[in-house]
Every structure is written in C-alpha cells, then in structure tokens.
Amino acid sequence: MDAEPRRFDTRNLSWRLARMSERLNRNQVTKLIRRAFSLWASVAPLRFSQVFNEQEGTADIEIGFYRGSHNCQRRFDGPGGDAAHTQAASAIHIDIEEELQLSDNRPVRQRGAVHLLRLLVHEIGHLLGLGHSSHLSSIMHPSSVNAWPALLRRPTSRVPAALIGRDEIRLVRER
Ligand SMILES: [Zn+2]
Ligand SMILES: [Zn+2]
C-alpha cells in the first residue's frame, strides 16, 4: 500500500469513480468516497470535487475497483492480503474480491474484512504524500483498515483528529 509521495500543485483536487465493483452499490460507495475526502478537507486546506466525465484521466484522482491483473504494475491477490494500492500517485485501486464493509459504525463483521471508508481515508493519505505510521491509532498505520473503533459516534467536530491522527494532520497542513 506504499505510494510515491506527491505534492499536488493545487489545493483543489478532482476525483472520479473510474470503475465500480459489481458487488457493491454505486450510491453507497460514492457516499463513502465523498465522506473520506471530506474528512481530509476538514483538517487541511484542501477541496475535493467529483468529476462525472466518462473519459479516462480526467480527474486528479481516479478511484477504481479491480481484480487480479489489471493493467497496473501490481496485481491483486484475492480476499485478504493487499486490499488496495495507489498507482502513479493519482489513482486508488481497490481489490474487488476483498470483503469490504460499507457500514462504518460497527466493527468488521468477519475476520479479514476491511472497512471501505477507512481504506479510502488511508489511501487518500498516501496520495497526499503520507507514508505509514507506527502509531496504532493513526489512519496511516498499515493494519488500520481492519479496525474501526466506534469513533464516528463521537461529535463530528472531534472525529477527524481522533480518526486520522495528529501527526498526519500536521503533515498534510504543511504540504
Ligand atoms: Zn498504506
Ligand atoms: Zn493497481
């Protein structure tokens, strides 16, 4: 899940859902992606907007669901293991075969399942230039995508710092 750090030359970034998973509901997934970006936007001077254009390469950040080999330097390994990665510092690829949980207010239902929202927040962090953190409470901890303490039940204003991690927020603000 490592990414090449990237300094975007703009604070207004567009994103596009480039390829859907046939196993998930598009509206639910779109909502989660919007929420993931809004969490970052709430802690740093960044603005994210959705692009609906069907053409490839029309957004700063392309998000897509893929399986196995998928026209990328990396290939997916099925359920478990690699759940997502960033590509060319401008795309987030997610493994379709992963057991992805869309509900974000309860622990994962089954072993090996991954919270999609948490996965998205983590991968966006990579695109914003963040590496992995050794702090268990940080969203950038490598295994943070499986755990989901009931943070989102807290008052909204206190969620981002508790979820993302103070070091990460400082780094993104300094970009
Ligand atoms: Zn990672
Ligand atoms: Zn890929």
Question: What residue numbers does the annotated binding site for Zn(2+) cover?
Answer: 70, 85, 122, 126, 132, 140
Q: 131 with 106: CB under 8 angstroms?
A: no
| Nearest ligand, measured from the Cα of 124 | 1
100 CA → ligand 1 middle, Å: 16
The answer to whether residue 7 sits within a structural domain is no
According to DSSP, the β-strands at 84-87 and 91-95 are: antiparallel
- Whether residue 1 lies inside any domain: the answer is no
Q: Is 103 left (phi over 0), alpha (psi -120 to 50) or beta?
A: beta
Q: Count up the domains in the chain and report the number.
A: 1
- Of 10, 61, 66, residue with least CA distance to 34: 61
Residue 113: the pLDDT is: 83
Per the domain annotation, does 5 fall within a domain? no
Q: Is residue 50 part of a domain?
A: yes
* 31 CA → ligand 1 middle, Å: 22
Summarize pLDDT for 147-164 with one digit per residue, the tens.
655 455 555 566 677 678
**Assigned domain for 120 exists:** yes
Inter-residue contact 59 to 16 (CB < 8 Å): yes
pLDDT in tens, 107-129: 666 777 888 988 999 999 999 98
Distance 149 CA to ligand 2 centre (A): 28
Residue type for 129, please?
G
* Mean pLDDT value across residues 87-114: 83
pLDDT at position 53, please? 72
As a whole number, the mean pLDDT across the chain is 83
Residues with Cβ within 8 Å of 47's Cβ and at least 6 positions away in sequence, in order, are: 11, 12, 13, 41
- Please state the residue numbers annotated as binding site for Ca(2+): 60, 77-78, 95
Q: What is the CATH number of the domain that holds 72?
A: 3.40.390.10
Ligand 2 centroid from CA 7, angstroms:
20
pTM: 0.86
User: For residue 16, what are the domain limits?
Assistant: 12-173
Give the number of the ligand closest to the Cα of residue 69: 2
* Whole-number pLDDT of residue 9: 64
